[in-house]
Each structure stands twice: as structure tokens, then as C-alpha cells.
Amino acid sequence: MTGTLTRLAPTLDALVDDGALVGWVAGVQDPEGVAVAAGGHRRVGGPPMNPQTLFSIASCSKPVGGVLALRLAEMDVLALDDPVERWLPELAGPRVLVRPDADLDDTVPAERPMTVRHLLTMTPGFGWVSEGPLAVAMNDVGVAPGPFPPPMGPKEYMTRLASLPLANQPGSTWRYHTSSDVLGVLLARAADTSVDDLLEEHVRGPLGLVDTGFTGDPDRMAGVHTAALTGGLVPFPLPEGTFTTPPEFESLATGLVATVTDQLAVLASLVGTGPALLTPESLQEMRRPHITDDQRSAVADLLDPDSSWGLHVETRPDGVFGWAGGLGTIGYADPATGRAAFLATQVTVDAPGTVAAFDAFWHLLD
């Protein structure tokens, strides 16, 4: 296990030396134990990265949302095929655009109720829309997908989202991101508590985690960077207080802060290495493919051609599952070996250094 990190470290250190990364933390957990390594710095000219560094894990928050939903299903708080309007009356009787790029008033009624399962499979009818009047309107009302939690409370977010038509009929098309924020609102309402309390009861507490939440100590946080147009890296602008002060919206789409070690513990728990968060039946349901080629046609570039989507995780043909985050985090686990791996760069996913680091990441699961 340590050997895999030893082989990866020179590649990541070379990216740091070339100015393509500022720093990195990577780790592996399997039945033999846990190994974590670090290199570079938390920000340009700043303190060194170390295993206690905190990262905004961005969309690596999404699998945690899947865990929470399945745990509440195990407890009979909800069922996956329940209509969401039971807890989200804002989404009762939605209108659906005749085409995703149609005018906002060119709609038809929804053909079926939107369900919890639709949220988990990202097929409720809303999500990432790249162009057309709906994309403009989502941006205008502040509910377009992005790297940060919504800048408003859950009730206001749902009101604004529900003021817009769906891009597609529920169950017909995979659209990324928005489902995770809506799922968080639903889970909190269904359990009559906060998302953070659910996280404590069903994830942090059972695994003994102390560094996973919706805020982090700024003295331990890695700075977020992105590629400059002229080359090299520059700070990526964050709204003031993001990830360091309690948010209005506890986002399961992109809101969590964690260490690599904590993320390893979560992933390892889903492959039988460490305390179990879910029953074997729930794990099987989470990790199996749930979407068809037709459903993924709208945003096929977000999933590898031979991969599918489970319940809030990507599922790969070899059984490996997990997801990556737009601010430079990636974590997957292998049920066949019980191994989990996580890498954090805190450089945006479109930057060449992060692309190269992510390519090298897969050796951690060899």
C-alpha cells in the first residue's frame, strides 16, 4: 500500500516543481491500514501541505448525500420511490419544457411524479443546462450549478428553483448537480433536523471523524487555485467566508470540507474496510448502474463512456465507484479489494496540473 504512494509522489512533486500544482495530499486505505502522503504547499509561498490539511471537497460531497439518503431509507424515514412533493411541496405539479432550449412558457405537464430515486440518479428533470432561456434563467435567479453552495437559505432556494420549468420529464434524462442540493433539503425536512446533524448521526459519529463538515479552520485550509491564462496558477476567487463560516445552505452538492484521511474513512466504509455506514443491500443498490444511454445523452461528457451512475456515485465497469470534485479532489473505492483512494490538489479540475494528477491517481487503486 505504501508503495503505491511512493510511486505516485514523484509524479505529483514534479507537477509542483513545474508550477502546475501548488501542493497535494493523497492517501490509501485498505484492510492493511491507512497511508497518507503530502507534498508542496497549501498556497503559493504558504505553509506546507500535510495530512491534516483541510480541503473543500466540492462534488466529492455528493456520495455523502447518497449515503445519508440510503440510511434514512433503511430507517423507514423515506422510501426511494416516494414522491418528493411529500417533503418538497414547491415541486408539486411541475411544468416541463417541450425542449430543453425552448422558451420558458413553452411547457407541458409532468408525465409522472418526481421521486427520491430521481434525485439520487440525477434524473428529476432539472440540473445542468448549458444553453437556452432556462440556462439564463437559472443563472439570473441564482440556482445555476456552480462550485459553491447556494448563497441563500433552503426555503428561498426551493422557491426560486420551483419558479422555473423542468428541462426534461422526470426520469428521462441525467442532468448533473442540482439534484444533490435538492436532496439535502428533502433529507433535512424528512428527518426534521439539519443536514449537519444528519452528517453527525450517520457519518461523523459512526466513523469517529472530526474534520468533516460545512466549515473548516482557515488556518488549516488549502487555498483554491486555477490556471492563469498566461500560464501558471492564480488564486481562485471564493465568496467571502465560503467554507470557513457557517453557510446559509448546507450543500450536499459541493459544500463539505474534509481531510483526505476522513474521506478515505468514508469510502473505505462503503467497501467493507472499517465500520459499515449502510447495509449490504443498500451498498449494492448504491453501487450498481442505474441510468441508460438515453438518460445520459444530455451531459455524456461528464461520465466516462463505459461508466454509469449509481445512487449519487459514478460506477465503473470493474466495480470501482466514487466521484471527483471541480476544485481538485477525487476519491474512488474498489469493493473487490476493499481499497479506497483519495487525492486532493485544490487546483480546479480544468487546470492541466489537476488533469495530469487525476490521470496518475488511478495507480492508487492498482
Q: Which three cell numbers stand for residue 173?
A: 434524462
DSSP designation for 89:
G
Q: Give the amino acid at 5.
A: L
Q: Rounded CA gap, 327 and 283, in Å?
A: 27
The DSSP secondary-structure symbol of 23 reads: E
The structure's pTM equals 0.96
Specify the DSSP class assigned to residue 204. Answer: I
pLDDT value at residue 298: 73
Round to whole Å and give the CA distance between 113 and 133: 24
First to last CA, the chain: 10
State the DSSP code for 27: E
Q: What is the Cα–Cα distance from 361 to 334, expressed in whole angstroms? A: 14
Q: What tens digit of pLDDT does each residue of 175-195 get?
A: 999 999 999 999 999 999 999
- Is residue 141 within 8 A of residue 167, CB to CB? The reply is no
Residue 297's pLDDT is: 78
Q: What is the mean pLDDT of residues 11-25?
A: 97
> What's residue 109's pLDDT?
98
Q: Report the C-alpha gap between 197 and 249 in whole angstroms.
A: 13
Three-class secondary structure assignment of 232-249: CEEECCCCCCCCCCCCCC
What single DSSP character describes residue 264?
H
CB atoms within 10 A of CB 43: 18
Map out the domains of the chain with their CATH numbers. Answer: 2-63+194-365 (3.40.710.10), 71-191 (1.20.58.710)
User: In percent, how much of the chain has pLDDT > 90?
Assistant: 93
Distance CA 360, CA 67 (A): 27
- With the C-alpha atoms ordered 38, 257, 327, 232, is the resulting torsion angle positive or negative? negative
Q: Find, among 271, 254, 253, 251, the residue nearest to 341 by Cα.
A: 271
Express each pLDDT in 202-246 by its tens digit. 999 999 999 999 999 999 999 999 999 888 899 999 999 999 999
- The mean pLDDT of 291-315, rounded to a whole number, is 88
